[in-house]
Amino acid sequence: MAAALPAAARLWRQPARPASRAVALPAPPRRACVRGEPAEGGGGGRHDTRAPLRTSARRGAMGRAGRRLPALAAVFYGALAALVLLGVRDVLFLYEENRCSMTYMYEYPEYLKIKLPKKTARRYPAYELYLYGEGNYAEENKNLLLTGIPVLFLPGNAGSYKQVRSLGSIALRKAEDVDFKYHFNFFSVNFNEELVALYGGSLQQQTKFVHECIKVILKLYRDQEFAPTSVAIVGHSMGGLVARALLTLKNFKPELINLLITQATPHVAPVMPLDKYLTDFYTAVNNHWILKAQDLRNLTTLSVAGGFRDYQVRSGLAFLPRLSQHDSALSVVSSAVPRAWASTDHLSIVWCKELILATIRAFFDLIDENTRQITEDPKKRMSVLHHHFVRHPAKTFEENPEAFTELTGAFMWIPVKASKWTYSVYNVSNVFFLIVFLCVFFLLMSNFFFLLRILMENISHFLLQATENHTVMFTVKTDTSSWIYGCMNSNSSMCLEATDLSWRAELLPTTKVVILKLQDYTSLSHIVIQVPPTVGNKYTLDCEFFREDSRTVQLPVTHLFSFGLSSSKILLNSTGLLYNVQLQHFNRIYQAFKIYIESHCQSLKERKPSVYRLHVPWSHEDSIIVAKVPSFTEISAKLHIAQPQNDSRVPELNIYSSSDCQYEVILKTSVLQVLGQIIRFHAGALPVYVVSNIFLTYGGQLSTLMSTGQCSDFPLELVRTAKPYKVEPLISIVVFLQGFNWFREIWESLSLPEVDAAVLSSQDAWFPLVSLILFVFGTGIAYWSGVFFSTSLRLFSSLWLTLIRPTVLQKDNKLITPRRLCGVLSLALVSWTTCGAFAVFIIYLQYLFKVIKLHVNVRAEQNMLNGDSDCSKETSQNSSIYTVKNQSSTDSTLKATQSLSNSTTIAEAVNSLKMHVTILNLFTWIVLLNLPSLIYWLKNLRYSVRLDPDPCRSTAIILVCILEILMNSSTSEVKSRARNLPSTSIFQVSKQVTASNMCLLPCSVKT
């Protein structure tokens, strides 16, 4: 009896023996007694019973190492996910405050529905055309006897036709100011708030409907005296792209539109290329505008981007393609628009009062007095747009300004005999002119700048700058009249005729700048400044001469990998009014800096505010900040567009300063904003890399299952298999081969999508490490998405266990049954007759329900097994004693055999569950990418049951078949029956994901 007890104890330490080996009694697996863990299947190895302590120590060390690895992986991938979240936070929340004013209607807005031809209404039942009006104006237009200038507004993605009210209301107020001599009729299209930025199947349909609307609008003016022959179009977001697509229609006449203004429209590429219809539409539009550029010279196009506040459409996508032969297109960022100087988000750009005012002023300046319509002269249209959106001289636009002007009024002669001087005057009641004699300084100080500044209390400050190395700074009252003149060859104190130099001015928030290259004005003898009445105010004039190189400073930017620990610093001891700080080596989109400007003044007297302008010379994306003096100001420096290859100009920080103040400029790399730039430019590709990591993990799980018989957990397998070297070399090879025409032709003949690296390179948004960074970020997202997904399944299964009694685990040896075949055929029919994404969503929900049910059953069986473990152990020990005594133990043997069978079944179920969770995680991403077409179909279900065109109709049928096979397969079948089944499934799944998300997947997944 005493000898039998140690033998029974050693028997418990040994693993379960194979069935072919004779044993006295089968012992339960050792892991069956571990709480909360499934019993492992029988392994063939035998423990060394002669060294139990050494084996136990080895297992303890391995256990500690195994526990340490997941913890380190969780910390590492948590840090990666945190970096992604920091970048997302910078894009979504860390931007300048909203400086736009809201537009308000003075009367209740009304939208008059325009009756369309029956054929058009029947072909496009979801679309409508409206005319905007207010109050009496709306009542007068109900009979549709229109006499104005037609403007058509096109809303964008999920946009409303009612967004036209800001434009329409301000245009109506402007028309009232001119007694309705000219006025505009604003029409708006109702696109049923379709998600065209995510589903491209309706873009062509919208384009054709807009063509019909233009023909209907022009017919309304058919009997009028000044009947228009064209329509001006304002398009918000995707509405601007639809307007550009009009020119691709075969029967469209280009002369039907002569002016196109787009607001936050992604012209270059879609924000998220989710289906081939969207990418094909972009390709067709952009190729047409490139190939037919000569035919588009009569169409003037203005694209206004929102700046960094618009996180939905980054401003780089809103810039029209650069074409050397297409000089009638202009692209600007709202932060650089004169009188606005404010970044806008994607929606506020349609109601930002400052931008709307600039647009309406431009509309009225575009009117031809003879035709009372928008001018047909393309040069005048571009001049007007430049006047209001690029460089505003604080003067009313004039098409043909007079070369010389007669000056009438009192004159005051100011002899300048020093390099710096001041003139002040109080309570001026009449307009008079100040004459500054310049010829002496042309001779004595030809290499110097000449600065002149006039200061007045409670009014704006303006700067006149002249080069050949002379700059003059003025402060005059902000108005729209001429204020500075150049007198030609006058030797007297009177200047009766002069040339108007006000057109050379540039308007800033508190300064007006005029740059004159004096060697181009050799006949210029005097500068004449018109001084407005200053009753109750003080008027001060400052003048200064300085060398150009003394006011230009070069500041090298810090390296990207300095991580903000180092800085570049300069100290400006200001004796003048302007400094130009050149930011050397600042030319790439992934660079981002914080610039700190601290101003100190010698005296405490009140001064005009300083103006800091970050000027990017190769694009109109300047940003302007006004700061008090003294103050500490922080400026974010980052680019919307990288420096073109053939452009050597350098970004500048222009500081319009006070003369007796000191400015300290410190520049540091901002890691947070660098992450934000990566997310801003490359967030659309992140789902690709997440799916790639899940694919690698799934392949690793199948490999482990084949070699060891056990399926590893998703997080552990992700750590082991998700390596960049498995993806990056293939991407580099494909990108290299894309440089050869023969490979590109083969690539296109196989209907493969364009490589992401090539697309980003064309947008100047690609740099060597971006793919590696995105892969690592994708790994972190895949890791925590897997953890979140597994945790969610546990929560659902716990809820299920509390509500529903679980069933017993059962084996289903038949992969294909008549019932399952009928289900597949039914879903295929649903996909073909309604919407492919709907069929995919149904099979996904079915798969999710099955995985949750499997999870519940496994947990229930584990709980039962753990509850019976103590009883099984005692029974087995007694059975061993009875065996030594040659006593019968049939009941004990059956119980032990049943326990071993249950443990093996649970182990197989756990392995299957791990595999199914990974597959379900993968298809969750695919379902999310297909949701836009499903939402579009549900929204338009009242018009048509069938989604046409459907980007995932055929691929949905393949997906349904694959998921039906995968959801009913188990690890035992993989190990015993079908080594080819997993590989085939992987191939089909990768083919499906490639087809349904062809524009998102990287080269490694596409190929």
The residues that are catalytic are 237
CA distance 451 to 460: 17
Instruction: Look up residue 327 and give its amino acid.
Output: D
Is residue 482 helix, strand or coil?
coil
CA distance 317 to 431: 49
- Please check whether residue 650 is in contact with residue 967, taking contact to mean a CB–CB distance below 8 angstroms: no
Task: Report how far residue 190's alpha carbon sits from residue 116's, in angstroms, rounded to the nearest whole number.
Answer: 13
**CB of 840 closer than 8 Å to CB of 933:** no
Rounded (5°) CA angle 316-319-325: 140
- Does residue 949 have a cis peptide bond before it, meaning omega lies within 30 degrees of 0? yes
Tokens of 790: 């597994």
Number of Cβ within a 10 Å radius of residue 759: 18
Tokens of 470: 């002379």
Q: In sequence order, what are the residues at sequence separation of 6 or more whose Cβ sits closer than 8 angstroms to the Cβ of residue 548?
A: 447, 449, 467, 469
Q: What string of DSSP letters covers 261-280?
A: EEES---SS-SS--SHHHHH
Task: Round to whole Å and give the CA distance between 479 and 459.
Answer: 11
Distances (CA, A) of 846 to 824, 839, 841, 968: 12, 11, 9, 11
CB 926 within 8 A of CB 946: no
What ranges make up the beta strands (E) of 346-500? 367-368, 373-374, 405-406, 410-414, 420-426, 432-437, 449-456, 465-467, 484-488, 497-500
Question: How many other CB atoms sit within 10 Å of the CB of residue 500?
Answer: 18
- Distance (Å, whole) CA 191 – CA 195: 10
CB 783 within 8 A of CB 81: yes
Q: Are 663 and 980 in contact (CB under 8 A)?
A: no
What is the rounded CA–CA span in Å between residue 226 and residue 367?
12
Radius of gyration of the chain measured on its C-alpha atoms: 37
How crowded is residue 380: how many other Cβ atoms within 10 Å of its Cβ? 18
Give the Cα separation of 293 and 7 in Å (integer): 92
DSSP calls for 829-855: HHHHHT-HHHHHHHHHHHHHHHHHHHH
Q: Which residues pair with 567 in a beta bridge?
A: 668
| Strand pairing report for 231-236 and 149-154 | parallel
Could you tell me which residues come within 8 angstroms of residue 884 by beta carbon, excluding any fewer than 6 positions away? Answer: 4, 7
Categorise residue 564: left if φ over 0, alpha if ψ from -120 to 50, beta otherwise: left
Residue 164 tokens, joined: 């036209």
Dihedral sign from CA coordinates of 137, 141, 145, 148: positive
Q: Which distant-in-sequence residues (6+ apart) come within 8 Å of 696 by Cβ? A: 718, 721, 722, 723, 726, 727
**Cis peptide upstream of residue 630 (ω within 30 degrees of 0):** yes
Is residue 189 classed exposed, middle or buried when 0-12, 13-18 and 19+ CB atoms within 10 A define those classes? buried
